[in-house]
Amino acid sequence: MKYILLIISLFVFTLSQSQNKAIGTNENLTFSASYNMSGLLTELAQVTLETSEVKTSKSTLLRLKCTAATYSKWDSFFKIRDLYESYVSPKSLTPYLYKRDINEGGYEKFIQYKFKRKTNTVESIKRKKRGDGTTWEQKKNVPINASTKDLISTIYNIRNLDIHKANPGDSQVFKIIFDNEEFSINVKYLKKETLQTNLGSKECYKLAISINNSNVLKGNNDNLLWLTADANKIPVYAKFKIAVGSGELKIKSATGLKN
């Protein structure tokens, strides 16, 4: 699941980021996730991205929620039930709180980040279940770059960038924190391309993604992302290649769009 999310996030150029103009408060995007099994691309799971308002005693935040679940017929093979959440400023999409709660093939992990921008750190809680049923927990402060974000808020931040001002070949390094480590992501704008999707024919921005000093993503221009070339910049299609295989992500539906 983490590889799929890495593909649909992580895009930044040497352009200024505007205030949130693309993300509404009641958006729902659903995707089918497929994986190459013995040479055959097989649809295994559904991924859903949702937004909603959350009111606290001091402010109103935007909740960015991502869930991933294998279809029931595949649960006996490898069951996935993942939840990712980021609580951000509705205007700037700057993250304040991030949670990840996953169950993948019986492997359970929980991570929480509280972002402390004044000190450029996150307060991290990391919890895993041992084989004997007991729980291991670690609390620590992790230093981060001033602009570092979590994975989910990055997915939404990319849709507020001025991609229309980029030229083919433009690229930039961007940082996220994942599993208490910072990753440097290189994203290159390739060209515009029209795709046939479940939302109809869409002109899209085609991007290539790689991770510096990591073997998570494989190949040259084998990890690709298409965003609609409109005010919503919806991720409609992605192809990825990792150490243990390859797969794709396709949009199924999109509702509650801001524009």
- What digits encode the pLDDT tens for the residues 53-75? 999 888 999 999 999 999 999 99
Q: Does position 103 have pLDDT exceeding 80, yes or no? A: yes
What is the reported pLDDT for 16? 40
For the residues 230-243, what does the mean pLDDT come to?
89
* Residue 16 vs residue 52, higher pLDDT: 52
What is the reported pLDDT for 108? 92
CA-CA-CA-CA torsion sign (112, 237, 7, 137): positive
> If pLDDT is split at 50, 70 and 90, which confidence band does 221 have?
low
Sequence-distant contacts of 163-166: CB under 8 A, at least 24 apart: 163/11, 163/13, 163/15, 163/189, 163/205, 163/227, 163/229, 163/233, 164/229, 165/13, 165/15, 166/13, 166/15
Q: Does position 258 have pLDDT exceeding 60, yes or no? A: yes
Q: Which of 124-133, 181-190, 217-226 has the lowest mean pLDDT?
A: 217-226
Domain count, the chain: 1
Which amino acid, one-letter code, is at 140?
A: K
For the residues 84-103, what does the mean pLDDT come to?
96
* Residue 112 vs residue 243, higher pLDDT: 112
Percent above pLDDT 70 for the chain: 88
Q: Does position 12 have pLDDT exceeding 60, yes or no? A: no
For the residues 176-187, what does the mean pLDDT come to?
86
> If pLDDT is split at 50, 70 and 90, which confidence band does 1 have?
low
For the residues 196-217, what does the mean pLDDT come to?
82
Q: Does position 195 have pLDDT exceeding 80, yes or no? A: yes
What is the reported pLDDT for 11? 38
Q: Which two tokens stand for residue 213?
A: 């000093």
CA–CA separation, 86 and 254 (whole Å): 20
For the residues 2-11, what does the mean pLDDT come to?
48
Is the distance from CB of 175 to CB of 145 less than 8 angstroms?
yes
Domain range for 56: 2-255
The CATH number covering residue 78 comes to 2.40.360
Mean pLDDT of the chain: 87
Q: Does position 207 have pLDDT exceeding 80, yes or no? A: yes
* Residue 38 vs residue 194, higher pLDDT: 194
- Global pTM reads 0.87
Instruction: Write the CA distances from 233 to 38, 179, 225, integer angstroms.
Output: 33, 27, 11
What is the reported pLDDT for 219? 56
Q: Which of 57-61, 197-201, 222-226, 252-256 has the lowest mean pLDDT?
A: 222-226
Q: Which of 217, 162, 200, 195 is nearest to 8 (CA)?
A: 217
CA–CA separation, 47 and 31 (whole Å): 5
Sequence-distant contacts of 118-125: CB under 8 A, at least 24 apart: 120/144, 120/145, 120/146, 122/177, 124/180
